[in-house]
Amino acid sequence: MEDIIFGKNSVLEALISGREINKILISKNIHSDVKLNKIKELAKENGIIFQFVAKEKFIPYAEYNHQGIIAQVSPINYTDLDEFLEKPHNNESLIILDGIEDSHNLGAIIRTAVCAGVSGIIIPSRRSVQINSTVEKTSAGAINHIPVIKVNSLSNAVEKLKNSDWWIIATDASADDNYYDINYDGMNSAIIMGAEHAGVSKSLLKASDFIVKIPMLKDFNSLNVSNALAVIIFESVRQKLVKNKVK
């Protein structure tokens, strides 16, 4: 599937037909008209980010008839959090990604999540890489086996989860508890992984039920985020299999 839609007519049509759009970029140099206003109106209605950017942003697309507007289309359909929570959940896990910027990391996380039987991945609509063709490719097809839930506010999502019998586990290098001190079996757990450099944001740490670290045996605290997630999520798998004596 195409990653980018070019020009007012095509972007407007994509919005009307309800295609999943990650972001709309509009050149600061184009004039407002009925179509552009309609685009902005529909984007707002559907919670789709649109940004006014310098015309230089369009240089990579010079060969296309973009008319100063492009839409970055998602290769997948995102899942709605409310719809996800309406279904029954029992002893499941979710992953919340707080500002992952690297497409390869997101792809690797999706692969690992699918292998570990994770029920869904939550990403924010801003300040995060979206599902693009690089993520799709790096996930080695795993993207088709797990719902990705896009939310406008991670804080609101965490509150909703807490009100729906989910326990929130955040990761932070300065935590007191180790990730294996948590008993993952018998509860729905949502694990928050932070951005590559900044970590989990303070407000989310505060909202979490548990904060855990991965103990490092060398003073070199730089585990890749997908590797860190793999360690934690497979500890929860281990606990569930060992306790339920599954081989």
Name residues whose C-beta falls within 8 Å of residue 130's C-beta, 6 or more positions apart in sequence. 22, 23, 72, 74, 123, 150
Contact flag: residue 235 with a second copy (CB under 8 A): yes
Name residues whose C-beta falls within 8 Å of residue 208's C-beta, 6 or more positions apart in sequence. 158, 168, 169, 170, 192, 200
Interface with a second copy (CB under 8 A), residue from 77, 178, 183, 203? 178
Interface with a second copy (CB under 8 A), residue from 4, 187, 207, 231? 231
- Nearest approach in angstroms of CB 79 to a second copy is 17
Interface with a second copy (CB under 8 A), residue from 9, 117, 156, 183? 117
Contact flag: residue 228 with a second copy (CB under 8 A): yes
Q: Tell me which residues in 131-150 interact with a second copy (CB under 8 A).
A: 140-142, 145
Q: Which of 162, 217, 222, 216 is nearest to 192 (CA)?
A: 162
- Nearest approach in angstroms of CB 214 to a second copy is 7
Closest CB to a second copy among 10 and 93?
A: 93
Which residues in 60-207 belong to E strands, given as ranges?
Answer: 69-73, 93-98, 120-124, 148-151, 166-171, 177-178, 188-194
Tell me the per-residue interface mask from 27 to 66 with a second copy, x by CB under 8 A, - otherwise.
Answer: ----------------------------------------
- Residue 169: beta bridge partners? 191, 210
Name residues whose C-beta falls within 8 Å of residue 39's C-beta, 6 or more positions apart in sequence. 8, 11, 12, 15, 24, 26, 50, 69
Interface with a second copy (CB under 8 A), residue from 112, 130, 189, 208? 112
Name residues whose C-beta falls within 8 Å of residue 43's C-beta, 6 or more positions apart in sequence. 15, 21, 24, 49, 50
- Residue 1: beta bridge partners? none
Interface with a second copy (CB under 8 A), residue from 42, 85, 108, 211? 108
Closest CB to a second copy among 114 and 154?
A: 114
CA 126, CA 217: separation in Å to the nearest integer? 35
Q: Which stretch binds a second copy (CB under 8 A): 9-17, 57-65, 103-111, 156-164?
A: 103-111
Q: Which stretch binds a second copy (CB under 8 A): 54-62, 71-79, 187-195, 227-235?
A: 227-235
Closest CB to a second copy among 67 and 226?
A: 226
Interface with a second copy (CB under 8 A), residue from 17, 88, 217, 245? 217
CA 66, CA 146: separation in Å to the nearest integer? 33
Q: 């506010």: which residue's tokens? A: 153
Give the binding site for a second copy (CB under 8 A). Answer: 104, 108, 111-112, 114-117, 140-142, 145, 176, 178, 180, 214-218, 220-224, 226-231, 234-235, 237-238, 241-242, 246-247
